[in-house]
């Protein structure tokens, strides 16, 4: 009798769960997940045999009508059955011969009993076990082993599409990150929670600008300095009028470091070293706090670096600033301009390489080219130290310098590349070296000093890593951009291009560089006093170490 009552209570509970109402957000979350999963896993869909965007648009009204888990699962089962047979895949069950990286991978969502019936879960698991193998219609491999997103319809005149197409926009982006962003596991917010949060922002966006800001906020949530999205409407939000100055944020102040137009800055008596604390009565830190959700960045250093739109831009040509100069605080009105009005001052060409006082070599990695390297080596070989300045974007000279700096070939990096046979999983690649093929008895024996900061990004970080495998290397500066890997571009509906890092980059010991940046031995940050005095405090520290 007791067993019978227990069984009866279980059956009653199952029936109650099956008939429990599901919320609109739960339904849309489930639809986003299943649509994306089928796109990359179902053999017929992954082969490009359907207009998959249209299939989503067609299913959304049906999903909207149903109210219970049972009814929702039936809609999905009917949808899946209509896609054709999924044959048994014998190769799918074979263990991978590659070493896999699986921190991004989880199919636990399939077993959410609040939304899916057992029958639907079983069907989804069957598709996973008998999935499409190899390059698909929608995702392939780029030349550098980064993921390549393909065949995504652009759709013209999509500035503010109707609700279901706005959801398509969210679902497309969310699933690309879900299956092909190598650093999904280190985002500030769990990617599952991002979907929950962003559904109402896309669905209920009241106008075009709110929709575009939702796209930008979504891009910022991957915490990737390669993240990018600029549209006319996002620019309009920040404002088309610019202050004529460049700046760095130090101690919560926007410190003027240079000028877009020096003559226009002089008209308002804006000087290098002025520390602006407020714009239109709002503290710099409060502006950043308000606007940071719209700044794609791997770390706070890049968020501050890329805050130029947020701090001074506006919709009018005037702004009030509160600033500090020579220990005193003052307020004044300044003029802002359209960017096209700026007339930059012609700069004196910088030296690609030179010998500093004290027999210290200096190389500007942002402008030296491969064709210059032989002459640079000839001039710098007798220096007691060589400083490689990578606070810029190098021109592909790292391998040429490696031939000189290293006594033998050395591994400096490990990668993870997407596993196209199992979307969401990645494969370790450990074979990238720098240095001569054989022994180099004439390798450079002096000190090597590498300069980095928040502008050191992507190939610049990669270059820094290659230099760091030397025998007598010190890296000086501050946290780098933390976006080290080839960029993968793709588009939201409407042709709004966005980027992500499409290849995972690690040190040989598998220490992450994403978000953290490269390893820095000696931390040096510019100071307000140093900026005002025109000093390069990072370079000064490098010279000090070279002379020790």
Is position 512 within any domain? Answer: yes
Q: Are residues 540 and 508 in the same domain?
A: yes
Residues 434 and 489 in one domain: yes
Residue 387, pLDDT above cutoff 70: yes
Q: What pLDDT band is residue 9 in, cutting at 50, 70 and 90? A: very low
Place 32 in a pLDDT band, splitting at 50, 70 and 90. very high
User: pLDDT, tens digit, for every residue of 303-318?
Assistant: 999 998 899 999 999 9
Residue 243 placed within a domain: yes
333 in Cβ contact with 235 (< 8 Å)? no
Number of domains in the chain: 2
Q: Given this model, what pLDDT does residue 3 score? A: 55
How far from chain centre, in Å, is Cα 251? 25
Same domain, 533 and 488: yes
Domain that holds residue 517: 353-546
Q: What is the mean pLDDT of residues 363-382?
A: 98
**Given 341, 366, 394, which residue is the final one in a domain?**
341
**Average pLDDT in the 247-258 region?**
97
The stretch 220-226 carries a mean pLDDT of 98
- Same domain assignment for residues 298 and 358: no
User: For residue 300, how many other CB atoms are within 10 A of its CB?
Assistant: 13
- The residue among 290, 298, 301, 327 whose CA lies nearest residue 249 is 301
Which of 341, 364, 396 finishes a domain? 341
Q: What is the pLDDT of residue 348?
A: 86
Whole-number pLDDT of residue 15:
46
Rounded CA-CA distance 88/111 in Å is: 22
pLDDT band at 416 (very low <50, low <70, confident <90, very high): very high
347 pLDDT exceeds 90?
no
Domain annotation covers residue 194: no
Of residues 510, 460, 508, the one with CA closest to residue 485: 460
Which of the listed residues 273, 307, 341 is the one where a domain comes to its end? Answer: 341
Please say if the pLDDT value at position 156 is more than 90.
no
The edge-to-edge listing of strands for the beta sheet with 426-434 is 100-101, 426-434, 410-418, 504-506
CA distance 502 to 519: 21
As a whole number, mean pLDDT of residues 418-429 equals 96
Listing DSSP states for 390-417 in one string gives -SS---S-HHHHHHHH-SS-EEEEEEEE
Q: Is the pLDDT of residue 271 over 70?
A: yes
Distance CA 207, CA 400 (A): 52
Q: Which of 7-16, 213-222, 510-519 has the lowest mean pLDDT?
A: 7-16
Query: Mean pLDDT across the stretch 424-449?
Result: 95
405 and 449 co-located in one domain:
yes
User: Does position 411 have pLDDT exceeding 90, yes or no?
Assistant: yes
* Per-residue pLDDT, 12: 40
**Residue 382's pLDDT band (boundaries 50, 70, 90)?**
very high
Regarding whether 514 and 401 lie in a shared domain, the answer is: yes
Residue 33 lies in a domain: no
For residues 203 and 168, what is the distance between their CA atoms, to the nearest angstrom?
10
- Looking at the domain assignment, is residue 16 inside a domain? no
Residues 322 and 412 in one domain: no
Judged against a pLDDT cut of 70, whether residue 186 lies above it is answered with: yes
Closest by CA to 217, choosing from 467, 498, 513, is 498
Q: Does a structural domain hold residue 384?
A: yes
For residues 372 and 337, state if they share a domain. Answer: no
pLDDT of residue 16: 45
In this prediction, residue 222 carries a pLDDT of 99
Judgement on whether residues 336 and 358 belong to the same structural domain of the protein: no
Same domain, 422 and 451: yes
Q: What's the pLDDT score for residue 5?
A: 46
Residues 6+ apart with CB under 8 A from 58: none
User: Are both 407 and 308 inside the same structural domain?
Assistant: no
Q: What is the pLDDT of residues 368-377, one digit of tens each?
A: 999 999 999 9
- Closest C-alpha among 546, 453, 3, 534 to residue 271: 534
Average pLDDT of the chain to the nearest whole number: 95
Query: Distances from the Cα of 91 to the Cαs of 58, 83, 131, 132, 309, in angstroms?
Result: 33, 22, 10, 10, 51
Is residue 400 situated within a structural domain?
Answer: yes
Give the mean pLDDT of 469-480. 98
pLDDT confidence bin for 462, thresholds 50/70/90: very high
Task: Specify if 256 maps to a domain.
Answer: yes
Co-location of 260 and 387 in the same domain: no
The values of phi and psi at residue 160, to 5°, are -145, 80
What's the rounded mean pLDDT across residues 261-288? 98
Q: How confident is the model at residue 19, as a pLDDT?
A: 66
pLDDT class for 1, splitting at 50, 70, 90? low
């Amino acid at each position: 009798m007791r067993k019978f009552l227990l069984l009866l209570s279980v059956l009653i509970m199952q029936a109650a769960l099956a008939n429990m109402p599901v919320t609109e957000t739960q339904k849309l979350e489930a639809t986003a997940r299943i649509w994306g999963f089928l796109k990359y896993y179902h053999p017929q869909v992954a082969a490009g045999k359907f207009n998959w965007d249209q299939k989503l648009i067609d299913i959304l009204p049906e999903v909207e009508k149903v109210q219970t888990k049972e009814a929702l699962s039936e809609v999905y089962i009917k949808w899946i059955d209509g896609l054709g047979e999924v044959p048994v895949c014998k190769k799918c069950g074979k263990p991978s011969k590659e070493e896999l990286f699986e921190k991004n991978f989880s199919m636990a969502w399939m077993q959410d009993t609040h939304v899916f019936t057992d029958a639907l879960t079983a069907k989804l698991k069957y598709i996973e076990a008998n999935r499409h193998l190899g390059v698909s219609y929608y995702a392939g491999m780029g030349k550098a082993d980064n993921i390549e997103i393909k065949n995504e319809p652009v759709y013209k005149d999509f500035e503010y599409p109707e609700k279901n197409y706005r959801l398509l926009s969210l679902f497309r982006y969310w699933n690309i990150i879900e299956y092909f962003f190598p650093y999904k596991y280190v985002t500030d917010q769990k990617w599952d929670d991002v979907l929950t949060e962003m559904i109402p922002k896309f669905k209920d966006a009241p106008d075009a600008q709110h929709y575009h800001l939702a796209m930008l906020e979504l891009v910022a949530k991957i915490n990737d300095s390669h993240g990018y999205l600029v549209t006319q409407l996002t620019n309009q939000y920040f404002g088309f009028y610019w202050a004529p100055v460049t700046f760095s944020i130090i101690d919560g102040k926007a410190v003027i470091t240079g000028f877009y137009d020096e003559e226009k800055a002089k008209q308002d008596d804006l000087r290098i070293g002025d520390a602006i604390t407020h714009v239109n009565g709002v503290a710099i830190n409060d502006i950043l706090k308000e606007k940071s959700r719209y700044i794609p960045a791997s770390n706070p250093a890049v968020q501050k670096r890329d805050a130029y739109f947020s701090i001074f831009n506006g919709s009018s040509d005037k702004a009030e600033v509160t600033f500090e100069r020579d220990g005193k605080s003052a307020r004044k009105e300044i003029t802002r301009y359209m960017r096209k009005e700026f007339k930059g001052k012609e700069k004196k060409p910088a030296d690609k390489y030179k010998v500093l006082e004290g027999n210290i070599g200096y190389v500007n990695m942002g402008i030296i080219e491969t064709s210059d390297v032989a002459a640079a080596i000839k001039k710098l070989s007798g220096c007691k130290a060589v400083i490689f300045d990578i606070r810029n974007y190098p021109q592909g000279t790292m391998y040429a310098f490696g031939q000189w700096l290293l006594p033998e070939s050395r591994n400096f990096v490990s990668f993870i590349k997407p596993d196209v046979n199992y979307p969401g999983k990645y494969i370790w690649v450990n074979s990238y070296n720098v240095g001569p093929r054989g022994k180099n008895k004439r390798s450079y024996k002096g000190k090597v000093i590498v300069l980095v900061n928040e502008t050191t990004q992507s190939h610049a970080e990669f270059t820094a890593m290659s230099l760091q495998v030397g025998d007598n290397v010190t890296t000086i500066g501050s946290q780098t951009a933390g976006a080290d890997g080839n960029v993968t571009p793709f588009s939201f509906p409407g042709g709004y291009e966005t980027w992500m890092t499409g290849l995972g980059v690690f040190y040989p010991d598998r220490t992450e560089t994403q978000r953290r940046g490269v390893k820095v031995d000696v931390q040096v940050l510019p100071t307000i006093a140093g900026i005002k005095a025109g000093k390069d405090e990072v370079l000064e520290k490098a010279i000090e170490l070279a002379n020790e």
